[in-house]
C-alpha cells in the first residue's frame, strides 16, 4: 500500500464510527444524513434539510450564519437579498467558527478519495484533487450486515463511504478560512454534512469528546431514530460536547454532570423544558446575539431578530419577576405566602425569619394565603428600572425542511412579537402552538402574530 504523505494521516474509523453511530449503522438513517450543505432556492441564506436527522449540524450552522449576516462588521442592510457568493462567504465564516469554538490547535479535514487521476494516484471525490492527495491507510468501519438480501446494497454503500475516507491535517497557524474555502466543494457535495461532522470530531479529538459527554457509550447520532444528541448540538453550538443545557456543572448524588460553561453567542430554547425534561440555563437563554435554536422532541429550527435589547443584561426588575414566576409555575400571578422567604433568599434580600413574618402579614393582609406579583414588586422593587425590551418587535423563524415550510418553500417567516406581563391583557390570541409554548420558557407572556396567521412548525 502507498505510504501516506507527511501531511496525511489515517482515519481512526473504528473509534470515529462508534462515537458517531454506535456499534451498528442503520442504512436508512445513514441515507438521511447523506446530504451536502445547500442553500434554498427561495431564500438565499437559508440552508435546506432534505430528511429528518441532520438538523443537529445544519441548524447550528444556520444560526451562526444568521449571526454573521445580521451582526458582523459591515453587515448588509438588505440582508435578505444576497447573492449566492455572499451567502457562500457567510457559510464559510460559520464553518470556521465551529473549529474556533472547539479551540483546536490543528484542523483535520476529512474527505472522500474515490477517483484516480491520470497518474493512477487517488484524488478527492470532488475531482479537484491530484497526486497531492495520496491514499492513507484504511481501517474497517463498524457496520454489520443484517443478512437481508434487500439491505445488501445500502449496507455496502455505508461501508464503501467509510472505506473511501482520507484526512489531512492543517495547523491553525495557517489561514483557516483559505483552507476551508479551498475545500468548500467537499462540504457542498453529497456527503458534505457527515464529512464536516467527522472533520470537527477529529479536529477536537475523539478522547476529548468522550471526556465531555455524560455517557461515552451513547452515540452522537441516535441509532434508532437518527436525530442528533444534545451533546452533538452543544458541540456545534458551543464547542463543548456536554450533555446538558444548564449553566456550569452540577453535582447530582455525587456525580458531576457537565453543563454549558459560558454564555453562548447563539442561544437555545426547547419545548422539552416546558415538559420538564430539562432545564435551560441563562448562558443559552440569554446569548450574546438575539438568535435562538428552538428544539422540539424531534427537530431543530431557529428564531431570530435584529432587536439587540432582547439580549441586553437582565435588569433587577426583570430578574425579580423571573425568580418570582419560577415559584409560580402555573402562571397565576401569585405565590403561596409560605414561599416568600424562599423568593427573598433567591433574590439575595433579607430573609430572616422575623422579617419574613412581618412582610407576609403586610403583603397578605387579608390572610388569603397568597402574595400577588405586583404587590411584591411594588414593595421591593418600586424604583428599579424595567426591562429595556420594547412592547413589540419583529422576529423571524427558519425551518430547513421543505415539508414543514409554508407552500413547501424554505423561507424565513416573519412575525410581530409582544412580551407582556401575565397579569395584564394587552393582546389575546388563540395561538396554542408548539412554538409559542417553546418561546414561553424564556418569555412567559409572549404573543406572536405571524404573517398570514400561520404559526411556524417546530417539526
Query: Could you list the active site residues?
Result: 55, 299
Q: 101-125 burial by CB neighbour count: b if 16+ within 10 A, else e? A: bbebeebbbbbbbeeeeeeebbbbb
Give how far Cα 259 sits from Cα of 61, 68, 151, Å: 21, 26, 40
Evaluate the CA torsion angle 98, 100, 103, 105 in order and state its sign: positive
Distance of alpha carbon 346 from alpha carbon 352, whole angstroms: 13
Beta bridge partners of 111: 166
- The one-character DSSP state at 455 is P
β-pair partners for 252: 255
User: Looking up cell 431578530, which residue turns up?
Assistant: 305
Closest CA to 245 of 197, 218, 284, 298: 284
CA distance 401 to 383: 48
φ/ψ of 295, rounded to 5, equals -110, 130
CA–CA separation, 327 and 371 (whole Å): 11
What's the grid cell of residue 446? 409572549
Strand partners, 50: none
Query: Within 13 A of 327's CA, how many CA atoms are on the CB side?
Result: 24
- Three cell numbers written together for 350: 433579607
Amino acid at each position: 500500500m502507498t505510504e501516506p504523505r507527511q501531511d496525511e494521516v489515517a482515519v481512526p474509523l473504528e473509534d470515529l464510527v462508534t462515537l458517531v453511530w454506535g456499534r451498528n449503522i442503520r442504512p436508512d438513517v445513514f441515507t438521511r444524513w447523506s446530504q451536502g450543505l445547500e442553500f434554498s432556492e427561495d431564500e438565499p441564506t437559508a440552508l435546506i434539510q432534505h430528511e429528518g436527522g441532520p438538523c443537529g449540524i445544519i441548524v447550528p450552522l444556520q444560526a451562526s450564519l444568521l449571526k454573521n449576516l445580521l451582526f458582523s462588521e459591515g453587515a448588509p442592510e438588505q440582508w435578505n437579498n444576497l447573492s449566492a457568493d455572499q451567502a457562500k462567504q457567510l457559510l464559510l465564516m460559520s464553518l470556521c467558527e465551529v473549529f474556533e469554538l472547539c479551540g483546536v490547535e490543528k484542523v483535520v479535514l476529512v474527505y472522500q478519495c474515490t477517483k484516480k487521476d491520470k497518474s493512477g494516484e487517488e484524488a478527492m471525490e470532488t475531482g479537484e484533487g491530484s497526486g497531492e492527495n495520496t491514499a492513507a491507510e484504511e481501517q474497517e468501519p463498524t457496520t454489520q450486515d443484517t443478512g437481508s438480501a434487500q439491505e445488501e446494497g445500502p449496507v455496502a454503500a455505508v461501508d464503501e463511504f467509510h472505506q473511501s475516507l482520507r484526512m489531512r491535517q492543517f495547523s491553525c497557524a495557517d489561514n483557516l478560512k483559505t483552507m476551508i474555502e479551498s475545500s468548500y466543494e467537499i462540504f457542498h457535495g453529497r456527503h458534505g454534512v457527515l464529512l464536516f461532522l467527522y472533520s470537527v470530531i477529529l479536529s477536537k479529538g475523539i478522547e476529548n469528546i468522550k471526556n465531555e459527554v455524560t455517557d461515552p457509550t451513547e452515540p452522537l447520532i441516535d441509532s434508532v431514530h437518527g436525530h442528533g444528541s444534545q451533546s452533538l448540538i452543544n458541540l456545534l453550538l458551543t464547542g463543548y460536547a456536554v450533555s446538558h443545557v444548564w449553566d456550569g456543572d452540577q453535582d447530582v448524588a455525587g456525580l458531576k454532570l457537565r453543563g454549558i460553561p459560558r454564555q453562548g453567542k447563539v442561544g437555545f430554547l426547547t419545548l422539552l423544558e416546558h415538559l420538564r425534561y430539562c432545564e435551560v440555563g441563562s448562558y443559552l437563554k440569554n446569548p450574546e446575539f438575539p438568535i435562538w435554536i428552538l428544539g422540539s422532541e424531534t427537530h431543530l429550527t431557529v428564531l431570530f431578530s435584529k432587536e439587540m435589547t432582547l439580549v441586553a443584561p437582565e435588569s433587577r426588575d426583570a430578574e425579580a419577576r423571573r425568580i418570582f414566576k419560577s415559584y409560580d409555575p402555573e402562571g397565576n400571578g401569585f405565590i403561596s405566602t409560605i414561599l416568600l422567604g424562599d423568593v427573598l433568599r433567591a433574590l439575595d434580600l433579607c430573609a430572616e425569619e422575623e422579617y419574613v413574618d412581618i412582610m407576609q402579614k403586610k403583603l397578605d393582609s387579608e390572610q388569603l394565603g397568597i402574595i400577588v406579583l405586583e404587590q411584591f414588586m411594588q414593595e421591593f422593587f418600586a424604583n428599579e428600572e424595567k426591562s429595556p425590551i420594547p412592547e413589540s418587535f419583529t422576529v423571524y423563524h427558519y425551518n430547513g425542511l421543505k415539508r414543514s415550510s409554508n407552500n413547501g418553500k424554505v423561507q424565513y417567516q416573519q412575525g410581530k412579537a409582544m412580551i407582556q406581563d401575565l397579569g395584564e391583557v394587552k393582546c389575546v390570541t388563540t395561538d396554542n402552538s408548539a412554538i409559542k409554548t417553546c418561546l414561553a420558557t424564556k418569555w412567559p407572556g409572549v404573543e406572536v402574530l405571524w404573517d398570514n396567521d400561520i404559526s411556524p412548525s417546530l417539526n
